[in-house]
Each structure stands twice: as C-alpha cells, then as structure tokens.
Structure 1
Amino acid sequence: MQTIEVLKQALSSLDPTQQQQLLVAGSAVAVGGLLTCYYWVYQGTKTKRIPTGDGWWGAGEKPRSEDEKVFPFQVQTSDEEIQDLYDRIDRTRYTEPLEDAGFQYGFNSTYLKKVVSHWRHQFNWKKQIAILNKYPQFKTNIEGLDVHFIHVRPPHREGQKVLPLMLVHGWPGSVYEFYRILPLLTDSLDSLAFEVICPSIPGYGFSEAPRKQGFNSLAAARVFHKLMERLGFSEYYLQGGDWGSLITTNMAQMKPECVKGLHLNMLTSKMKGLHRVLHEVLQGELQDQH
C-alpha cells in the first residue's frame, strides 16, 4: 500500500499531458511497463544514452550501400527434408538410464524414447508449418543479416487509436511465444489497438546468425531500432522477456526519444539502469542492492 501511495504522489506531480501519455502507455503494457513509462515521460531528459554505434555482421567486408528491401517470408519444408529427419531419428542410438534415476543426471533416455516416438510417428509437420505461417512474416537485411520478423496490423476501425509495439523473445525461445497473445493485442474492439512487430533475434528462429564475433544485446538493440525505422516508425512501445528484456532496455537507453514505453517480464540484479529507474519512480522506496 505504501508503494501505491508513492505512485499516486508521483502521478499527481505530472501535468495533464504527461498523465495522459502515461495512462495510454499503462493500458498498453500493464503495471511493470507503467513504472518504466513514467520514467521516460517524467525523467526522460535525465537518461544517460548508450552510444548507438554501427556494425556489420555479415560475411566479408561491409558494402558501400545496403539493400533495404523488406520481402515476404513463409516457413517451408519438403517431403524430402521430413524423410531425411525420419531417417536420422530411426538411426538414433540410446544409452540406458541409471537405475532408479529420473532426470537428476540429465534427460532420462527411457522417457526420451517416448518423446522421439511421438516426434517420429504422431507429430504432423505440415500442420505445424501451417500454424507457423498463420501471421504475416517478412525478412529484411540489416547490418549484413537477414532479420526475420512477424508484422501484424489491426483491422481498420473508425476512431480506434493504433500504437506500434515490438515484442522481443528470449532464450530458449522464438516469436512463436507470442502467437496466442497477438489477437488480443491487434484485434481489439476497444478504442486502442496495437500494430505488433515480433523480430527473431539474429541467430534464433529464421533470422540469420552473425558471421562475426562480438554480437551482443547492444548490437541487437541497434538492429531492432533500424528495423522499426525501416518500417516507418519513429516512436514505439517495447516489451521484452529474458534476453528480450535486456535488448529492449538497451533500446530505451540507446534512443529514449523513440521509446514511448517499456514493459519487461524478466528483471535481473545486474540491470543497474533499471534499478535507477525504479528507484526514482518510487522516490527512494527501492534501495540499490549493489
């Protein structure tokens, strides 16, 4: 309750325009994002920027100009690829599990045989591919990498406000994590809906892996900023979990003027910048643990 009172005091200190910005962002990303949205609305001018920099992660030297085309993408496979997988599964050699052991020493090979049997005989690959292709997917080359992303626009509804929102997955994960929530965000009958962009982190899913050493969360943040810019967005909201939480936090630190709101569903004790955000929002209620 004390924290709620502190938040009320913080909200009351904002002018009406700032309150409106915060409430719109809060309805988009819930309580966790609300705290961080407050920081960028009220304290954004004090945020220390991370240098944007530049990079090239493709093979060879960086060319003088980059191909910025965005092209449609669909997941595809063939009967030959599936049969090759079946052949390799059939040649699997298993070791016997330790007696009276469950999963204390790794994946139990007795249970693994059941999983592989389902994968080999019951799993419908073509049905799954159809599910993966449910939403519009695209690729575009950024810093030498073909970056895969899902882009779902809401149906046009008169008077409805549409906000751009990027969702970033983590490890071990993929954009498939967001499939069930996409209709809730994009196909809303309320006065607010979202245009959602879900990129695959380079090296994950259908995004090309870096060819050079050193790719990190800062590089991913810069690549995703370039993606949003290429799609025509100058201001947008972000949501991230696991590695996505670090990438989106870096995006907000890199270009705070572009990030209207940030929602994270995973926090770590090493994210000192976020500790500072929460510390200022709660006016001293949270103490830095470092």
Structure 2
Amino acid sequence: MQRLQVFKGTFCSLDAVQRQLLIGSAVAAGGILVAYIVHRRRQVQSIPLGEGWWGAGEKPLSEDDKIYPFKVQTSDKEIEDLHERIERTRYTDPLEDSCFQYGFNSTYLKKVVSYWRHEFDWKKQVAVLNKYQHFKTKIEGLDVHFIHVRPPHRENQKVLPLMLVHGWPGSFYEFYKILPLLTENQDGVLFEVICPSIPGYGFSEAPHKQGFDSLAAARIFLTLMERLGFSEFYLQGGDWGSLITTNMAQMKPQ
C-alpha cells in the first residue's frame, strides 16, 4: 500500500507530456510481453526420442521386427478355473445406508459376481474380440499387441491413418463401437485405424524393467507406426492415452 501511494504521488507530480510517455512505455512493454507469451505458446515443445529396453534379461544384439497375427483364445479349463475362484469369493457386510460412499457396496457386488459366474458368455465374448484382426510385434523387448482395421477399398477414396490409444482402466476394446463409423463411412474420409494395447495392458507384454513411463510407451508406438509404413498419421488418446499421444507428437512434431 505504501509503495502504491509513493507511485501515485510520483505520477501526479509529472506534467502531461511525462505522463503520456510513461503510459506509452507501459503499454509498449505490456504489448511486448503479450507477444512473447503468444510466441512461446506457438512454439512446438519437442522432446528427445530416447531409447529403451524393457524385455527380460540383457538386450540382444538384434530384435525380430516382424509382425505376427494374433488371435484371442480361451479354454474350458481356464473358464472352469475362473468359475471356481468366483465361487470362493468371500464378502464383508456393507456399512448400513452407505451405498458406494465407502467403496464398492458388497451387496451389489454379489449381483455382479453372480452375473459373471452364471450369465456372462465368455466364449461369445472371445468371438466378439476376434471380430477385428489382431497382431503382435516385438518392440524394445516387449510383445506389443494391436488391432489393425483397414477400410474397404474404394476408388478415389481418401484414407487417413489413425492411432487410438486407450487409458486406465481401459483397453483397445473400448473403441470397438466407433470403428465402423471410422472405417465404413460411405461418404467423406475413411480412416485406417490402429489400436494398440499399452504395455502391461490387454494382450501386450508388461515391462520387465523399472522406469517404464508415457515417454517409453510413446516411443514404442512411434516405432509401431513406422513398422506399419506410416510416417504421418493422426492420433487420439484418452486418460493415459492422451499423455502418450501428446508425447508422440512432441517426439516427432513434423
């Protein structure tokens, strides 16, 4: 407050010309600051690509870069084992009138578990998952899983490559309902869609080394797109997928 009063007194003691010069200087300085901030925001904040190895054991001299078909499978033995473990579930009584304020309500949980045990058709779901083509390829020591959906060939049809990256908790499956809209549109642009599983999620191998982060996932997915023959492509991600795709754009902004 004292500094403000001193400034006010000093300003009032200036003549008209001096006041105009002071105001003009302040406006000019403010304009330069705003222009600098806008310029900085427009600059692409790139980050180094880096390198990594997340497989088990020592890094080999070379890595198999082939892409292999993959099919989701389950067996009667696996389903029976799951049913047995579901039936052995032990419940605690919920707090009275608590609903979900203190975690998942165990009364409702019993209904969910009963559905998984007696109603859910696991083999039918496997068939649903295999609706699209699945693949795996080794990148930085990990088996990376992805689905690759190509639109039907049409003359003079523009097709854009698009990678969709899920988040947590999530998987490649959350994109299944939108894939027909992206790949089977009769008018306008079609997309060739790649949906990978983040390492440690779905059918992608989990890292065997400490320190795996969004930068490592971004680098792996860039390698995947290059391996598929794409140098330029579109990206979309939600949750962790948003950070991963942002890192991808920062690693290769052009």
TM-score (norm 1): 0.72
2:50 paired residue among 53, 75, 84: 53
Residue 64 of structure 1: aligned partner: 61
Residue 154 of structure 1: aligned partner: 151
Letter in 1 for 2:66: K
Displacement after TM superposition at 1:162 (Å): 0.7
CA contact (8 A) 1:140 1:146 kept: yes
Residue 226 of structure 2: aligned partner: 229
Letter in 2 for 1:178: F
Q: Report the 3-state secondary structure (helix = DSSP H, G, I; strand = E; otherwise coil) of the residue aligned with 2:51.
A: coil
Stretch moving more, 185-194 or 230-239: 185-194
Displacement after TM superposition at 1:83 (Å): 0.4
Distance 1:48 1:99, change over 3 A: closer
CA contact (8 A) 1:73 1:139 kept: yes
Q: Report the 3-state secondary structure (helix = DSSP H, G, I; strand = E; otherwise coil) of the residue aligned with 1:141.
A: strand
Residue 125 of structure 1: aligned partner: 122
Aligned pairs for 1:91-130 within 5 A: 91-130=88-127
Distance 1:62 1:94, change over 3 A: same
Aligned mates of 1:70, 1:133 — CA distance in 2: 17
Aligned mates of 1:92, 1:241 — CA distance in 2: 33
Aligned mates of 1:157, 1:238 — CA distance in 2: 23
Residues 1:163 and 2:163 are matched in the alignment: no
Aligned mates of 2:194, 2:59 — CA distance in 1: 27
Letter in 1 for 2:93: E
Cα deviation digits, residues 22-53 of structure 1 (max 9, x gap): xxxxxxxxxxxxxxxxxxxxx9x942320001
Letter in 1 for 2:87: D
Q: Report the 3-state secondary structure (helix = DSSP H, G, I; strand = E; otherwise coil) of the residue aligned with 2:153.
A: coil
Aligned mates of 1:171, 1:191 — CA distance in 2: 32
Query: How many aligned residue pairs are there?
Result: 215
Q: Report the 3-state secondary structure (helix = DSSP H, G, I; strand = E; otherwise coil) of the residue aligned with 2:212.
A: coil
Letter in 2 for 1:237: Y
Moved >2 Å (runs of 4+): none
Residue 210 of structure 2: aligned partner: 213
Residue 204 of structure 1: aligned partner: 201
Displacement after TM superposition at 1:128 (Å): 0.7
Displacement after TM superposition at 1:100 (Å): 2.1
Aligned pairs for 1:11-30 within 5 A: none
Residue 23 of structure 2: aligned partner: none
Residues 1:78 and 2:72 are matched in the alignment: no
Unaligned runs of 5+ in 1: 1-42, 258-290
Q: Report the 3-state secondary structure (helix = DSSP H, G, I; strand = E; otherwise coil) of the residue aligned with 2:104.
A: coil
Residue 245 of structure 2: aligned partner: 248
CA contact (8 A) 1:58 1:144 kept: yes
Identity %: 79
Aligned mates of 1:107, 1:47 — CA distance in 2: 44
Q: Report the 3-state secondary structure (helix = DSSP H, G, I; strand = E; otherwise coil) of the residue aligned with 1:147.
A: strand
Distance 1:93 1:252, change over 3 A: same
Unaligned runs of 5+ in 2: 1-39
Name the larger-Rg structure: 2
Aligned mates of 2:46, 2:93 — CA distance in 1: 55
Calculate the aligned-residue CA RMSD, in Å. 1.5
Letter in 1 for 2:131: K
Residue 3 of structure 2: aligned partner: none
Q: Report the 3-state secondary structure (helix = DSSP H, G, I; strand = E; otherwise coil) of the residue aligned with 1:140.
A: strand
CA contact (8 A) 1:159 1:191 kept: no
Aligned mates of 1:201, 1:155 — CA distance in 2: 27
Aligned mates of 1:148, 1:132 — CA distance in 2: 13
Displacement after TM superposition at 1:69 (Å): 0.9
Aligned mates of 2:74, 2:53 — CA distance in 1: 30
